[in-house]
């Protein structure tokens, strides 16, 4: 998963862009980059957190009113700095951009661009391929005036060739800024506007993966870029918008469960409220089980909202018994199992006074491999708990995500080919309770019934883009397995 922001300001944009980017740090902690334009492109990217990559020196160098920022966690490639975004091309006009998502036919496109168009794709970053496909279309018009119509047709050309999920922000030098979402709108992208203090100045426009990134800049109007649609802002700051695909909207349900910030609104759904609803709905299921529960306790931070809702519905005590060390990164980013296990213990610590002699309902957003859950159950037992019921407010995860969330390979899912009793045994809990898939979808959909269905392929194996073949499953599985191996080899060097 990644985060992307594009701002079209009237003055130097870098300080606004930097503060806005801090709101998407949770979407990728592997690398980050900022690109600005003031007649030429200026670019700084690096590995690590935003605060460690940018300093006064490189911020001063990032001049211009136009800026694109990106935070990355890699789904393709080894995470080297060459693969970090934004990317830029110097033909046909100079095009720069960044995206959030994952291109499923990346390797095929890379080969096609090389064989047929003699383009060398240097990186393993899928944005380089998107940029090249887009550029290939508008190159034909390089001696003409580039109209919004040509730009929109270029996006259609991207839709035709590029498969997977992508929410893209581009800047075409001297022509304008463009934001578009893939035909199914799998990944979020918001568009916003704010009027500057001086009335004779034009509005400032922005695109962002989460609404929070624009609301922290006090944008007045924030709305979603429609799925399969593009919004183009020309150099005079005129806005053009076009729907370019009529595929059904299938936003990623996992954004609400885990990924996005609770203060964001995506696709007309507030993330916090959807987690309250997920909690309410799971509470109904738990109530029917008539369990002897003394306290409800969340696995911080994502499960806090749903846990409070569960405790309230069940009229039980809510107790925060696990303390999180905020200064350790997300554990699933670590490729090596041992490193992951160790860092879970450093990340969470139990409060004995909360758990001793209690029957505990522990609530988490999801169970992926089960390493976190196993370590937590152990921890809570050691702190003196009598019984531990482990509830996941999402359904069992059993399939890899090809659209940008790194679920790793299929074999690693603890819920695959296992009953709930077996899962409970594997993680050491007395009982495991999952949200039913219908309730999960209904809870998130409650705020926007216009969305007929979400992407929930990681729970069902039903991939909405319809292009994930058995061969691709095997291929991507192998690529991922090799990726993990090569990360480990690099680490051991």
Of 367, 380, 415, 451, the one binding ligand 5GP by CB under 6 A: 367
Instruction: Give the integer Cα–Cα distance in Å for 234 and 423.
Output: 55
Is 276 a residue that touches ligand 5GP (CB under 6 A)?
no
Structure tokens belonging to residue 172: 């075409």
Q: Are 190 and 207 in contact (CB under 8 A)?
A: yes
Q: What does the H/E/C string look like for 84-105?
A: CCCEEECCCCCEEEEEEEEECC
Instruction: Give the integer Cα–Cα distance in Å for 112 and 102.
Output: 18
Q: Give the contacts of 177 (CB within 8 A, at least 6 positions apart).
A: 6, 8, 66, 169, 170, 171, 205, 207, 232, 233
- Output helix, strand, coil percentages for the chain, rounded to the nearest 5: 35, 25, 40
Q: Are 388 and 430 in contact (CB under 8 A)?
A: yes
Piece in contact with ligand SF4 (CB under 6 A), picked from 58-66, 151-159, 415-423, 449-457: 449-457
Instruction: Give the integer Cα–Cα distance in Å for 163 and 170.
Output: 18
Of ligand 5GP, ligand SF4, none, which one does residue 41 interact with (CB within 5 to 8 Å by kind)? none
Shortest spacing between CB 111 and ligand 5GP, in angstroms: 29
Of 85, 270, 373, 465, the one binding ligand 5GP by CB under 6 A: 373
Q: Are 395 and 435 in contact (CB under 8 A)?
A: yes
Residues with a known catalytic role: 2
Shortest spacing between CB 456 and ligand SF4, in angstroms: 5
Instruction: Give the integer Cα–Cα distance in Å for 172 and 330.
Output: 35
Is 141 a residue that touches ligand 5GP (CB under 6 A)?
no
Instruction: Give the integer Cα–Cα distance in Å for 268 and 265.
Output: 6
Q: How many of the chain's residues bind ligand 5GP (CB under 6 A)?
A: 17
Please report, as residue ranges, which positions from 376 to 435 form the binding site for ligand SF4 (by CB under 6 A): 401, 403, 405
Piece in contact with ligand SF4 (CB under 6 A), picked from 107-115, 250-258, 307-315, 341-349: 250-258
Please report, as residue ranges, which positions from 380 to 409 form the binding site for ligand 5GP (by CB under 6 A): 405-407
Closest by Cα among 222, 189, 257 to 455? 257
Choice between 73 and 403, CB closer to ligand SF4: 403
Piece in contact with ligand SF4 (CB under 6 A), picked from 139-147, 251-259, 265-273, 297-305: 251-259
Shortest spacing between CB 428 and ligand SF4, in angstroms: 27
Of ligand SF4, ligand 5GP, none, which one does residue 458 interact with (CB within 5 to 8 Å by kind)? ligand SF4
Helix (H) or strand (E) holding 372: helix 371-382
Of 307, 366, 395, 435, the one binding ligand 5GP by CB under 6 A: 366
Of ligand SF4, ligand 5GP, none, which one does residue 207 interact with (CB within 5 to 8 Å by kind)? none
Please report, as residue ranges, which positions from 210 to 239 form the binding site for ligand 5GP (by CB under 6 A): none
Piece in contact with ligand SF4 (CB under 6 A), picked from 247-255, 349-357, 381-389, 435-443: 247-255
Q: Name the site residues for ligand 5GP (rule: CB under 6 A).
A: 258, 299, 302, 332, 364-373, 405-407
């Amino acid at each position: 998963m990644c985060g992307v922001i594009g701002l079209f300001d009237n003055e130097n944009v870098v300080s606004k862009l930097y503060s806005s980017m801090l709101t998407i740090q949770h979407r990728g902690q592997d690398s980050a980059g900022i690109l600005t334009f003031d007649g030429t492109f200026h670019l700084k990217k690096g590995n690590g957190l935003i605060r460690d990559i940018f300093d006064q020196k490189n911020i001063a160098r990032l001049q211009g009113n136009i800026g694109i920022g990106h935070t990355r966690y890699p789904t393709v490639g080894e995470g080297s700095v060459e693969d970090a975004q934004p990317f830029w091309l110097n033909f046909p006009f100079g095009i720069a951009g960044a995206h959030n998502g994952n291109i499923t036919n990346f390797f095929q496109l890379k080969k096609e661009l090389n064989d047929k168009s003699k383009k060398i794709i240097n990186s393993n970053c899928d944005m380089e391929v998107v940029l090249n496909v887009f550029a290939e279309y508008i190159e034909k018009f390089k001696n003409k005036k580039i109209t919004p119509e040509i730009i929109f047709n270029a996006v259609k050309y991207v839709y035709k060739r590029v498969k997977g999920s992508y929410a893209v922000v581009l800047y075409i030098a001297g022509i304008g800024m463009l934001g578009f979402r893939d035909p199914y709108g799998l990944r979020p992208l918001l568009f916003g506007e704010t009027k500057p203090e001086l009335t004779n100045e034009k509005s400032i426009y922005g695109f962002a993966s989460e609404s929070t990134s624009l609301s922290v800049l006090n944008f007045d109007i924030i709305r979603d870029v429609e799925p399969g649609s593009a919004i183009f802002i020309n150099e005079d700051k005129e806005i053009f918008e076009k729907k370019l695909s009529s595929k059904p909207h299938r936003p990623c349900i996992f954004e609400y469960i885990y990924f996005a910030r609770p203060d964001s609104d995506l696709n007309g759904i507030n993330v916090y409220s959807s987690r309250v609803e997920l909690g309410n709905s799971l509470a109904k299921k738990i109530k029917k089980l008539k369990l002897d529960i003394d306290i409800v306790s969340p696995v911080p931070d994502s499960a806090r909202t749903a846990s409070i809702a569960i405790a309230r519905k069940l009229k039980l005590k809510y107790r925060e018994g696990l303390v999180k060390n905020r200064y350790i990164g997300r554990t699933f980013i670590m490729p090596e199992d041992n490193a992951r296990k160790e860092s879970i213990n450093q990340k969470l610590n139990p409060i004995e006074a909360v758990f001793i002699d209690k029957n505990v309902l522990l609530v988490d957003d999801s169970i992926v491999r089960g390493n976190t859950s196993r370590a937590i159950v152990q921890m809570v037992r050691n702190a003196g708990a009598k019984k531990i019921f482990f509830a996941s407010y999402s359904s069992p995860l059993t399939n890899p995500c090809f659209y940008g969330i790194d679920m790793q390979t299929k074999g690693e899912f603890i819920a695959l080919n296992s009953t709930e009793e077996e899962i409970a045994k594997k993680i050491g809990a007395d009982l495991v309770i999952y949200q039913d898939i219908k309730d999960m979808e209904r809870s998130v959909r409650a705020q926007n019934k216009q969305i007929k269905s979400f992407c929930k392929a990681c729970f069902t194996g039903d991939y909405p883009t319809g292009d994930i073949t058995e061969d691709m499953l095997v291929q991507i599985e192998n690529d991922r397995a090799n990726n993990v191996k090569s990360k480990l080899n690099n680490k051991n060097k």
